[in-house]
Amino acid sequence: MTDGREVQWVEVTEGQVGQRVDNFLMTRIKGAPRALIYRIVRKGEVRVNKKRVKADTRLALGDVVRIPPLKLAPREAVREVSDNLRNLLAGSVLLEGRDWMVLNKPSGLAVHGGSGVKIGLIEALRQVREDLDFLELVHRLDRDTSGCLLLAKSRPALLSLNESLKRHEMNKQYLALVAGRWPARRDFVSARLDRFDAGNGERRVRVDSGGKVARTRFAVREAFARATLIEAEPITGRTHQIRVHAAHAGHPLLGDDKYGTREAGRVAARLGLSRLFLHAASLTFPEPTSGKPVKIRAPLGETLDGVLESARNAR
């Protein structure tokens, strides 16, 4: 990794072939936020084979990348991983293969830094796992969602797993607690989704006939007095898809401060829920090298288990 004191010339190795310039730089420049990476690329300070490039330029074997000297201001630097976060991440690994790993992502931790978030899961994990030269997210989870998160430890594995996503060979099952009684016959929601600016710089999603196709399967797992535990399987992978589709069906997720209702908020408060009840409970994917299916489950944890017990005892 560059330490920021001098120009670095780095030759692209076989494991980095096809990697985007911005992701390559994120792994090479310790503590650099993504916004700074984009800025130095845009200004032409980063060169590949002595030529200007864009952030999404793909690297080839033998390319030589110029990394400029950088001195990060305290407000720009990604902060060091605290001992608590380091221990949390180390204890969150559910299963690890030669070139992939699956974490039980904690709720409240963004997968990427930026937009006021000094450090995200991927930046923190790169500090924790200094033994790895390559580490990238295969998919994402919302900041407040917990559960199965897949990462690749090599470029070939990332490409293979991305192809599996495109071919719908990866299956994700979520558990969510929603307000009210979800109808047992309501097993499918198909409603186009559109991202929009909420007016305060926050991006949200709404059902819109001009939006992108989005489909989600739902199944009732357990019914309570004022809430229902449902299983959700997103067929498409749109932002906030499960949350918006559930709210569109009239049963918003409990603990959802973006798409919830006052009544849902009251139910959550009665159950002692202080976070979004959305958990990526299981993940199935083909192993990148062998192609054999790998299925992993992530336990709900004490907090969400406790909420369900409160729901069972509610009258």
What residues are labeled active site?
Answer: 142
Query: Closest Cα partner for 307 from 271, 281, 256?
Result: 271
DSSP E strands, 35-105:
47-48, 51-52, 64-67, 93-96, 100-105
In the DSSP assignment, the letter for residue 180 is S
| Residue bearing tokens 């900041």 | 143
Residue 220 contacts residue 182 (beta carbons within 8 Å): yes
Phi/psi of residue 181, nearest 5 degrees: -95, 110
List C-alpha distances in Å: 189 to 185, 216, 245, 260, 281. 11, 5, 7, 18, 20
Q: Is residue 261 a contact partner of residue 250, using CB atoms and an 8 Å limit? A: no
